[in-house]
Amino acid sequence: MISFIARRIVIAIPTIVLVSIFVFALQKMLPGDPILVLAGEERDPIVIEALREKYRLNDPLPVQYFAWAWQALHGNLGISLRTNAPVLDLILEKLPVTLQLAAMAMSFALLIGIPAGVMAAVKKGTAWDYLATGLALWGLSIPNFFLGIMLIFLVSVQLNWLPASGYVSLGESVSQNLRTMIMPAFVLGNALAASMMRHTRSAMLGVLKQDYVRTARAKGLLEPRVILKHALRNALVPVVTVGTLLFGELLAGAVLTEQIFTIPGFGKLIVDAVFNRDYAVVQGVVLCTALGYIALNLLADVLYVVLNPRLRAR
Amino acid sequence: MPATKNTDMPFSSSLAPRPSEAGEPVLRVEGLGVAIGPAERPVTLVEDVSLEIAAGRTLCVVGESGCGKSLTSLAIMGLLATPPLRVASGRVLFEGRDLLTMEPRERADLRGDRMTMIFQEPMTSLNPAFTIGDQIAEVVRRHRDISAEAARATALEMLRRVRIPSPEKRLDEYPHQMSGGMRQRVMIAMALANGPRLLIADEPTTALDVTIQAQILSLVRNLQRETGTALLLITHDLGVVAEVADEVAVMYAGRIVERGPVEAIFDDPQHPYTIGLMGSLPSLAGDQERLVTIPGSVPPPERMPRGCRFSPRCPFAIAGCHTAPPPLAEITPGHWAACIRAPLEAFVGAPAGEAA
């Protein structure tokens, strides 16, 4: 098990290097020059040249890359061209907000998606199945921004139950934080709940046909135990793996949701950085996101093995 | 596997001591029918099946694939995939009580405890996600009010009784770490853990190597002898039947065509299908030039003939065979055949073509 994880981490290293090169090259290919933004209205050539020297933009690209990568390895992702704050600090400040949002969305998706998928599979072909499948189709089809705006209109404007926007951190007030986060989490987790439901349903349908489910019944076990222990335990293997990978997509999907509900998270950081051509921040954010995806892939692999005794021995 | 040597000897069923018990049979099936499809237009897959087994006795149900053997056993256990399958008629009396009118909960209480079943496919019948020990202990704890440790001890004891080598180690292994024969032993351990009155074995050796088949069969037989369990063994292997059966029921196209003591079925078969089945049995004596086969094939359930279901393939069929299904009639005491032309002594020996 340990050696399996170690091997997966070693395999991930070339991927990380490739990603970092790509991230570095990408910002070199972007149109627009941040120095011009910094230099201000006059665009004094002397100032521009000084700025280029200061940010080492005159060095050959490989040198720039290694300098950047070396610093990045030490946690120095550079200084925001815009605010002069260290990029890492910016990320560490915004990331927890988005992680909380994504975790809440994920919990929501699991709490709704898995039970609904199990029910749809067990009651296949009945009204319950059609209801769950129909709701899932709805959940997958409706765009985040539309659902978000509709919910703000209904819940905040009409009913005045929850605030439409404004963010309160967990440190300030837990209850206020939850009041501001619950609607965004629902919006963000909506599509994921639908896809979890569909994955659970199809995995359960496959497992319920297995001989060992019949064996469980032959042992005299009652239906809830047959379904929730013997069938679900096996159906969860692919569902957990897919769920882990989809968590990464939640982080990406958070960009829109955070814009709608004006939550100062990772998504907002990306959008602002891109619009301001704040290269160092864009680089840092993209690198972090890529590392996050790689870590989630690794986690999915590990979970797949942990949940699957047939693979564990290797 | 030296541990199994002493029990895996070939044995003769006639020498075996048979616990005989007077009175109520453990299982008594009366006119069981299994159907599929809508209630207004059902297709009958099993029709009018009647059986009984006494404690300590072995009934073999034989017949070719698709004749309804497995459906019958699943219907008895209450494990039919419902829907689409359902029990359409009959009674299934277990120790005198009708299982079909019982509350599902009450029936589940019997299942795995008083009546148990092992299946054809040991490779897929165990849950891949749990250890062997957990799966055996689970059936014990489901029906006995004992601690987890005690259930584990029972599981270990059962692994010993089914002669699995180094059982302490195997207890914590997963099914994928075991061979098919070992997994079938685990299934047997699970089925016998609570000391059932009835064990149904649905082709328990079909998926196994020939050498393992004999071991598994003799294991089942020995454990059955020790415990006095009634055994309903489903098989299409007449060699197995000859070895283990006390009574035999021959099924064809969802019906029982002949039923009786094993000696009577082998020495004096009455139904033309049984005769054909015996003829299909290859002999090592080598006096046959070709294997005898039964011409034609089983009609599909929705196009069953109105009369005797074997009549389209039967060399002895006469007009009366096509009008109504023949009832099971007692030819000699305890020996029943569903053939209006039985006894067939007059025709046997003459080439079938001429007799018809």
Which residue in A219, A227, A236, A303 has the most chain B C-beta atoms within 10 A of its own C-beta, making it the best mutation to test that interface?
A219
Tell me: do B259 and B275 sit in the same domain.
yes
Q: Residue B285: its pLDDT value, please?
A: 57
Convert the pLDDT of each residue in A113-156 to its tens digit. Answer: 999 999 999 998 889 999 999 998 888 888 888 888 888 888 88
Q: How confident is the model at residue B240 (pLDDT cuts 50, 70, 90)?
A: confident
Tell me: do B210 and B65 sit in the same domain.
yes
- For residue A72, tell me if it sits in a domain: no
Task: Please check whether residue B138 touches A, CB under 8 A.
Answer: yes
What residue type is assigned to position B32 of the chain?
L
Q: How confident is the model at residue B330 (pLDDT cuts 50, 70, 90)?
A: confident
Q: Residue A41: its pLDDT value, please?
A: 74
Give the domain CATH number at B69: 3.40.50.300
Tell me: do B91 and B201 sit in the same domain.
yes
Q: B211, B228, B245 — which closes off a domain?
A: B245
Residue contact B119–A230, C-beta within 8 A: no
How many A×B Cβ pairs under 8 Å? 69
A-chain residues within 8 Å CB-CB of B139? 219-220
* Mean per-residue pLDDT over chain A, rounded: 86
Tell me: do B182 and B36 sit in the same domain.
yes
Q: Residue A194: its pLDDT value, please?
A: 92
For tokens 């305890």, name the residue.
B334
The chain B residue lying nearest A237, using CA atoms, is B129
Tell me: do B241 and B270 sit in the same domain.
no
The chain B residue lying nearest A219, using CA atoms, is B112
Q: Residue A314 pLDDT > 60, yes or no?
A: no
Asked if residue A266 lies in contact with residue A94, where contact means CB atoms within 8 angstroms, the answer is yes
Cα distance between residue A59 and residue A244, in whole Å: 41
Task: Please check whether residue B141 touches A, CB under 8 A.
Answer: no
Alpha carbon of A206: minimum distance to chain B alpha carbons (Å): 13
Which residue range forms the structural domain that includes residue B236?
Answer: 24-245
Which residue in B73, B74, B110, B125 has the most chain A C-beta atoms within 10 A of its own C-beta, making it the best mutation to test that interface?
B125
- For residue A180, tell me if it sits in a domain: yes
Q: For residues B77-91, b (16+ Cβ closer than 10 Å) or e, as one string?
A: bbbbeeeebbbbbbe
Convert the pLDDT of each residue in A93-105 to its tens digit. Answer: 888 888 899 999 9
Q: B205, B226, B245 — which closes off a domain?
A: B245
Residues 6 or more apart from B337 whose CB is under 8 A from it?
A: B257, B258, B259, B260, B270, B271, B274, B328, B329, B331
Residue contact B176–A309, C-beta within 8 A: yes
Convert the pLDDT of each residue in B129-188 to its tens digit. Answer: 999 999 999 999 999 999 999 999 999 999 998 889 999 999 999 999 999 889 999 999
Tell me, what's the ipTM? Answer: 0.82
- For residue A210, tell me if it sits in a domain: yes
Residue contact B124–A218, C-beta within 8 A: no
Q: Residue B347 pLDDT > 60, yes or no?
A: no
Please state the φ and ψ torsions of residue A125, each to the nearest 5 degrees.
85, 0
- For residue B11, tell me if it sits in a domain: no
Tell me: do B136 and B226 sit in the same domain.
yes
Compute how many other C-beta atoms are within 10 angstroms of the C-beta atom of residue B333: 9
Q: B245, B276, B298 — which closes off a domain?
A: B245
Residue contact B111–A217, C-beta within 8 A: yes
Q: Which two tokens stand for residue B110?
A: 């019997």
Which residue range forms the structural domain that includes residue A132?
Answer: 87-312
Q: How confident is the model at residue A313 (pLDDT cuts 50, 70, 90)?
A: low
Q: Which two tokens stand for residue A183?
A: 């609607």
SS3 of B38, please? Answer: coil
First to last CA, chain A: 7
Residues 6 or more apart from A121 whose CB is under 8 A from it?
A: A129, A200, A201, A202, A204, A205, A208, A235
- For residue A199, tell me if it sits in a domain: yes
Tell me: do B214 and B268 sit in the same domain.
no
Considering only CB atoms, B119 lies closest to which of A211, A233, A308, namely: A211
- For residue A187, tell me if it sits in a domain: yes
Tell me: do B320 and B224 sit in the same domain.
no
SS3 of B233, please? Answer: strand
Q: Residue B346: its pLDDT value, please?
A: 56
Structural domains in chain B (count): 2
For residue B171, the 8-state DSSP code is T
* Strand B335-337 to B198-202 pairing: unpaired
Give the domain CATH number at A245: 1.10.3720.10
